[in-house]
Amino acid sequence: MHARVVTLVGGDPTRVDEIVAAVRDRFTAGAPEGLDEMRGFWMLVDRQRAQILGVSLFDDRASLQRASKVLDQLPHPAPDAGGRPASIDIYEIPVHYERPSSG
């Protein structure tokens, strides 16, 4: 697996929920158009610093690279709340663990 991690910084700490809601809305009906190869998405938030990590997960580097073309074109989820992408990093995920569901 591979991950694309976008770090958003410099937003208004009192408006982080606007960004969270806007990103959540993008996934209401599944993955946004053109991102059908994306395996999953995690959003990590540090509310005090208004720092947000958007982690997109893919089965392989090739699907990540194809999706990056679409992701790079997505507009800021809540421009009035501020913030800017500080970095976009690509990682391999050599170890992955999820606790089995009970039931």
Q: What is the pLDDT of residues 8-60, one digit of tens each?
A: 998 899 999 999 999 999 888 788 888 999 999 999 999 999 999 999 999 99
What is the enclosing helix (H) or strand (E) of 36?
A: none
pLDDT band (50, 70, 90) for residue 83? confident
The structural domain count of the chain equals: 1
**Within-domain flag for 98:** no
Dihedral class, residue 81 (left if φ above 0, else alpha if ψ from -120 to 50, else beta): alpha
**Within-domain flag for 99:** no
Residue 96's φ and ψ, nearest 5 degrees, are: -140, 130
Q: Is the dihedral of CA 92, 55, 84, 35 positive or negative?
A: positive
Provide the greatest CA pair distance for the chain: 43
Query: What's the pTM value of the predicted model, to 2 decimals?
Result: 0.89
**Within-domain flag for 91:** no
**Within-domain flag for 49:** yes
Cβ–Cβ < 8 Å for 51, 13: no
